[in-house]
Amino acid sequence: MSGFVDQAQLHARAGDGGAGAVSWRREAHVDRGGPDGGDGGHGGDVWLVASVNESSLLGFRDHPFRRATDGVHGSGSKRHGARGKDLVVPVPVGTVVRGRDGQVVCDLATDGARFLVAEGGQGGRGNARFLSNRRRAPAFAEQGEKGQEFWLDMELKLMADVALVGFPNAGKSTLISTVSAAKPKIADYPFTTLEPHLGVVRVGGVRDGTEFVMADIPGLVEGAAVGKGLGHQFLRHIERARVLVVLLDLAAPELGGEEPSTQLRILLSELGSYRPELLDRPRLVAGSKADVASDAEGVCDMVLSAATGEGVPALVARLATLVDEVRRQAAAVASGEVIVHRPAPEGVDVRRAGDGAWVVVGRAAERAVAFSDLNDVGALAEAVRRLRRLGVDRALARAGARDGDEVTVGTMTFTWGEDS
């Protein structure tokens, strides 16, 4: 079974907030001690963090569920509940996160980049928080808020300095195994490589040399840009490469295959059809298997034989120079800061639920009515005050709500009236 997975789903569930406590101070010789209910703890968040120590989404294929812990309920004597622990989920650098509608919500393209994938629910406030000159004995507290819960799609696009692009059996696997410690499966038949392989290549000394990552991309076929031969699954790993090496099989014509010039035309056409900007990427055109075939004059920038080592040092040296140049350009525009992605805060939305019926949705509105006892006059008044502060009354009026319509917010249902 393959150990490399570049597409997976994630079910992220943040922790629920703990409920606030309704409690009264009861001590000897203390008359009318008053409310002393503590607050509930916030639920834990779920974070995705890009890490160079992760190379695949394999861990999500059979176990997509990730959940943070809940906050602890508050208690008497103003004891606040503990916050739930955040859950940090490492993913490979280059992971793209999409919503179920297919829209990209986050692109973790740098090591250490973080994405708040599900926010924990806020803890409810205890009745001690609602003590005021007008409210001397609040007999209500807030309930804990539910943590966010989402199904997301994740897609990995390899982060490589150099990508080897070519037809099946062009010698890409042999080349990467020659210049790095990568050990891909190698055989003399098409489609030996069914998944990308990464290898680290070093040129020069430890202190003054250049080290870069080379990716062996499975062979492309004509029509790959429209999905033929699993083309989309392979092409996505070329998108982020700094430099492209187009590897042409010089021996193919002798075996009934395409001429090198035809190979080059088809490969560049597929790259341009998939992402036109790939044609502007720095690239080298190299002819492989020079030990058993002659050079394709005017087509290749250089020729090599991974089997004999001919031309390999020259290719690696040229790639190191290109990678250094591209890295310097990228460093000039990079901020160098760790990127933290947070979803935009949700607003309050009013939706029609039927004739004379409305539903107000949004975490802020639902939080405003999350009390332990909405039958309590003080709790109901507090809920109405919060909704007005959020502008729910104005939103209902703009939506066309009329006196006598039924409005539902979270667990609270009331009759709408503009003067209410």
Dihedral sign (CA 252, 254, 260, 266) = negative
Give the phi and the psi of residue 190 in degrees, each rounded to 5.
Answer: -60, 155
pLDDT of 87: 97
Residue 99 contacts residue 115 (beta carbons within 8 Å): no
Give pLDDT, residue 11.
Answer: 97
- Per the CB < 8 A criterion, the answer to whether 143 and 39 are in contact is no
Residue 226 pLDDT: 45
Instruction: With a cut of 50, list the residues of the chain below it in pLDDT.
Output: 1-2, 186-187, 189-193, 226-231
pLDDT at position 222: 63
As given in the structure block, the two tokens for residue 124 are 């409810």
- CA nearest neighbour of 230 among 239, 240, 243, 221: 221
- pLDDT for 230 equals 47
> Which residues 6+ apart lie within 8 Å of 40 measured at CB?
17, 18, 19, 20, 21, 71, 72, 73, 74, 80, 81, 123, 124, 125, 126, 142, 144
Residues linked to residue 51 through DSSP beta bridges, in sequence order: 92
What is the pLDDT, as a whole number, of residue 182?
A: 61
pLDDT score for 187: 45
Rounded-to-integer distance, Cα 161 and Cα 172, Å: 15
User: Which residue shows structure tokens 């003080």?
Assistant: 378
* Whether pTM exceeds 0.75: no
**13 forms bridges with which residues in the sheet?**
67, 149
